[in-house]
Structure 1
Amino acid sequence: MFFFYRRRRWVLTLCDGIFFGVVALLVSALWYGVETLRNGWWFLDSFIRYQIGLFREPVAGHGQPFYYHVVVLLFGVFPASFIALGALRRSSSFADSEVQSAFALLMAIVFGVVLTIFSISTTKIAHYSSLCYFPITFFAAREIHRILLGAASWGKLARLACAGFGALVALLLTLFPLALIYVERILPFVKDELIRAVLQSPVEWRSYEWLIGAFYFLFVVLSTVLLWQKKFELGFGMLFFSTGLTLHLFTLFIAPKVEAYIQAEPIAFYKSLQDEDCYIVTGYKSYAPYFYARFRPQQCPSNLDHEWLATGPITKPAYFVAKLDGAAWYEQFPELKVIKRSGGYVFFKRDVPHVP
């Protein structure tokens, strides 16, 4: 696409292309080359088939609308995502030199190809479009550079859009902790039993977490005022610094609590089974037992289905973990005993059946 668009105006020499290809081959061979030598072609074949399956069908409940990654990138790379829009509008004046122009075109192609492919893919997960972070931040940095030099303008519409979106993000970061701090006030309005159980998880809040979003809102307002006054260097600097600081504080003080709501109970349960010779079955899509329970293939062979583990002649204990809305299927088996209900999860155990 790059050379087709430039109509064979080559920037790289043939030697450069060969060198790039060899380096790319060697780096990737550190993984698939060693894996193929050790285990044969079956793993690589299964890996490729799995990737094709991800593209063709939604896997593990990750089917999302076509515009999913656009929304993810607008939120996830803010404020660079909004600033980069100005650079994309001025695609004909990306750079001053041939090399810079070529690199800008390459970044535009990377962005377009990655966003298009993963928007078409039926399985959509936030990190799939993460390669777009690089071209977005590149175009944002270039746009800021042009604005500071006076070669581009930061229009009223762009300032309003950036300020409005920043205020929305700050508002969400403020209201989200407040809703969970005073969760007992919103529980009467929650009808879904699974969500109610998750919200009732024993998570300790310090009552100051909402200040992270409040302070970010203040910085967004100050940045907007500075940008409106055309004090671009200070305005952009404050906006990016406050965004980075807010993300860091969110990671330290809020993200662990969110993780506790989502999966603290099953993770603690899996950790307790690390040294036990047993079967482990999850009634939902999760990789957690592989890591936290140090899951081994013999703990749930692929040729053993859940019903056999619940009724068949097992030779070691079997543990089953299901979400509240999926526990009814396991409750139909009398040999499965509920050992715990917490955090929206139900934990079952089946002992080795007594043989007379």
Structure 2
Amino acid sequence: MPRIHTYYPTDLQELSPRILWAFLTAALFTAFFYNLHGVPLFDLDEGAFSEATRDMLARGDFIATYLYGEPRYDKPILIYWLQALSVSAFGLNELALRLPSALAATGWMLLIFAFVQRVCDRHTALAAAIIGATSLGVIIIGKAAIADAALHLFIVGAMFAIYLHFKEGGVRWVYLAFLCMGLGFLTKGPVAVVIPLAVSLIFYGLKGEWRSWLRAAFNPLGIMLFLLIVLPWYLAITWREGPGFLMGFFLEHNLGRFQAPMHGHAGPFYFYLPVLLVALLPYTTVLIRTLWEVRESFREDLHGYLLTWFLFVLVLFSAAGTKLPHYIFYGITPLFILMALHLDRVRSRFWLFLPPALLFAGLLALPHLVDLIKPHLDDPFILALLTDHHVHFGPLWHAFFVIALAACLFFMLDRRIQRGYRLFLIGLTLNVGVAGLLLPAVAGVQQSPIRDAGLAARDLPETVVMWRLNNPSFSIYANRGVERRMPEPGEVAVTKEDSLARLEHHHYEVLHARNGVILVRILEAP
């Protein structure tokens, strides 16, 4: 098939493929594997997925998932199977629980490379994958022990297959799309089908290819492949759980999230615009320039398809009642490709490096901003978590972000190093800073007290319950299931230190306490 090239004279084609490959390799490692084991699991999401997996292995039940002893209908089964396989191989730890996501995110980026190389050229393909693997949002979500990285892999696989079917024909792309949609449906449900079908319907319709779309969408073998993937587990869980699963998963956690805010996650219609500006750091200026100029090339097939994909996701989730930052990531992959195609259109070095400079300056000032905010906080639990926050922001923190900020300022002035190399170096710097410093610091404040309480409870003979907390990662470190309820005499409770006054007439013995999280044994009445 004919290859599609950028419309503009570009410095990108002058960059060495070997050096770009080195950038991509470093980006994949630092984004998804560096310090994978060195950060405690984050609650709520990482803790919930991981504890459901631990409980699955403990019960030997690979059909249904449970959390706090109650059925968990939030997500389908595939990510739990992948985590269970990893834990069986490497043990119950952060590395094993996050490894499936890290591998899926790596596959996501390599799919971008393979697709863009096929429809454009190798330089643009490498640039698109590097941009994806060094964007702030992807660095954070790509290694998290949740379902999203795997879902992105499957949605992107389906979307690329659909476009290649449009350009090349061939039923193999139809089968690949159905395969990816089936795996995505088994990972997170209807969203893995809605986005590919809706975007392709709009795009094929705009191109006057209705009949081609209908033939592909209703391909009997493709539909059979999809059903072969999804039906066994969906039928098994419905047979076991009955209408509770259907109501909980499809109505509450899918349709319900769209109709109304869930768990307080509301937001204005423009919620995702600032999210995009932050999630695509350090490439924010490239994003703005790309969105400004891409309208000129909407009629070109690739640009039109990518823009339709992004706009559909943006409009769909902007209209939804529940708004969470990671929802927009379902439409972020086309932006990586469009930004690579327009990378050299940003001629101002100042504006190119201003967003990462501001980010690094903000991170440098973060410990001092916390000091300014603390006197105005009135939540005793948050204040307790922040008791020794300076321990997590030591000299290395300040030295690293001073150097990172200085690099941005230097690159604003320097003309000798190719602009692409400069920007990708800043991206790698961000990867290392986030994985090596930011995430460990945030987890040190937020999660370390929960982790330490879990480790302290691991060998206790009593029943352990969680009271006035919702931190499922506790169960991972305690390696035991807990219920969320009021403790009874003879039991051990993990709770907030400021909640002890609510125990009223109960006598208790403190077993462990750190930064507002306390482990107490409830004593029998004398």
What's the TM-score once normalised by structure 2's chain length?
A: 0.51
Partner deviation per Cα, 1:139-192 (whole Å, 9 max, x = no partner): 111112xx3xxxxx4355xx5544332221110121125667xx5xx5884553
Q: Per the alignment, in what secondary structure is the counterpart of residue 286 of structure 1?
A: coil
Instruction: Tell me if 1:75 matches 2:258.
Output: no
Contact 1:172 1:213 in 2 (8 A): no
Partner deviation per Cα, 1:126-150 (whole Å, 9 max, x = no partner): 3232223312211111112xx3xxx
Instruction: Tell me if 1:337 matches 2:508.
Output: yes
Instruction: Tell me if 1:142 matches 2:341.
Output: yes
Partner deviation per Cα, 1:100-130 (whole Å, 9 max, x = no partner): x434333223322322333333433332322
Instruction: Tell me if 1:256 matches 2:440.
Output: yes
1-structure distance, mates of 2:515, 2:523: 24
Contact 1:118 1:128 in 2 (8 A): yes
* Greater relative contact order structure (CA < 8 Å, 6+ sep): 2
1:109 to 291, 298, 308: 308
Instruction: Tell me if 1:154 matches 2:346.
Output: yes
Q: Which moved more, 1:71-80 or 1:273-282?
A: 273-282
Amino acid in the other structure paired with 2:291: L
The aligned residue for residue 87 of structure 1 is 290
Amino acid in the other structure paired with 1:211: A
Instruction: Using the TM superposition, give the Cα deviation of residue 335 of structure 1 relative to its aligned residue in structure 2, in angstroms.
Output: 0.9
1:235 to 419, 423, 440: 419
In structure 2, do the counterparts of structure 1 residues 204 and 88 end up closer, same or farther at CA, with 3 Å as the change threshold? closer
Aligned residue pairs, count: 319
In structure 2, do the counterparts of structure 1 residues 188 and 139 end up closer, same or farther at CA, with 3 Å as the change threshold? closer
In structure 2, do the counterparts of structure 1 residues 60 and 16 end up closer, same or farther at CA, with 3 Å as the change threshold? closer
2-structure distance, mates of 1:338, 1:124: 42
What's the TM-score once normalised by structure 1's chain length?
A: 0.72
Contact 1:190 1:196 in 2 (8 A): no
Instruction: Using the TM superposition, give the Cα deviation of residue 60 of structure 1 relative to its aligned residue in structure 2, in angstroms.
Output: 4.1
2-structure distance, mates of 1:350, 1:256: 33
Q: How do residues 216-227 of structure 1 correspond to structure 2 at under 5 angstroms?
A: 216-226=404-414
Contact 1:178 1:210 in 2 (8 A): no
Q: Per the alignment, in what secondary structure is the counterpart of residue 253 of structure 1?
A: helix
In structure 2, do the counterparts of structure 1 residues 272 and 102 end up closer, same or farther at CA, with 3 Å as the change threshold? farther
Q: Per the alignment, in what secondary structure is the counterpart of residue 350 of structure 1?
A: strand
1:196 to 355, 379, 383: 383
2-structure distance, mates of 1:120, 1:282: 36
2:248 to 43, 46, 67: 46
Instruction: Using the TM superposition, give the Cα deviation of residue 74 of structure 1 relative to its aligned residue in structure 2, in angstroms.
Output: 1.3
Instruction: Using the TM superposition, give the Cα deviation of residue 207 of structure 1 relative to its aligned residue in structure 2, in angstroms.
Output: 1.0
2-structure distance, mates of 1:46, 1:61: 18
Instruction: Using the TM superposition, give the Cα deviation of residue 280 of structure 1 relative to its aligned residue in structure 2, in angstroms.
Output: 1.4
The aligned residue for residue 150 of structure 1 is none
Q: Per the alignment, in what secondary structure is the counterpart of residue 176 of structure 1?
A: helix
Instruction: Using the TM superposition, give the Cα deviation of residue 41 of structure 1 relative to its aligned residue in structure 2, in angstroms.
Output: 5.2
Partner deviation per Cα, 1:302-328 (whole Å, 9 max, x = no partner): xxxx4xx35xxx57514141374xx27
Unaligned residue ranges in structure 2 (runs of 5+): 1-201
Instruction: Using the TM superposition, give the Cα deviation of residue 13 of structure 1 relative to its aligned residue in structure 2, in angstroms.
Output: 8.0
Instruction: Using the TM superposition, give the Cα deviation of residue 208 of structure 1 relative to its aligned residue in structure 2, in angstroms.
Output: 1.9
1:300 to 467, 470, 483: 483
1-structure distance, mates of 2:222, 2:293: 30
1-structure distance, mates of 2:209, 2:323: 35
1-structure distance, mates of 2:283, 2:222: 29
Amino acid in the other structure paired with 2:315: T
Contact 2:464 2:491 in 1 (8 A): yes
Contact 1:198 1:262 in 2 (8 A): yes
Contact 1:277 1:316 in 2 (8 A): yes
Contact 1:319 1:347 in 2 (8 A): yes
2-structure distance, mates of 1:87, 1:10: 32
1-structure distance, mates of 2:227, 2:312: 21
1-structure distance, mates of 2:363, 2:258: 33
Instruction: Tell me if 1:131 matches 2:315.
Output: no
The aligned residue for residue 266 of structure 1 is 450
2-structure distance, mates of 1:94, 1:315: 70
2:355 to 144, 156, 165: 165
Instruction: Using the TM superposition, give the Cα deviation of residue 259 of structure 1 relative to its aligned residue in structure 2, in angstroms.
Output: 0.4
In structure 2, do the counterparts of structure 1 residues 116 and 347 end up closer, same or farther at CA, with 3 Å as the change threshold? farther
Instruction: Tell me if 1:280 matches 2:465.
Output: yes
In structure 2, do the counterparts of structure 1 residues 188 and 61 end up closer, same or farther at CA, with 3 Å as the change threshold? closer
1:4 to 188, 205, 228: 205
2-structure distance, mates of 1:252, 1:87: 31
Q: Which has the larger radius of gyration?
A: 1
What is the RMSD of the two structures over their aligned residues, measured on CA atoms?
3.7
Amino acid in the other structure paired with 1:281: M
In structure 2, do the counterparts of structure 1 residues 134 and 282 end up closer, same or farther at CA, with 3 Å as the change threshold? farther
Unaligned residue ranges in structure 1 (runs of 5+): 148-152
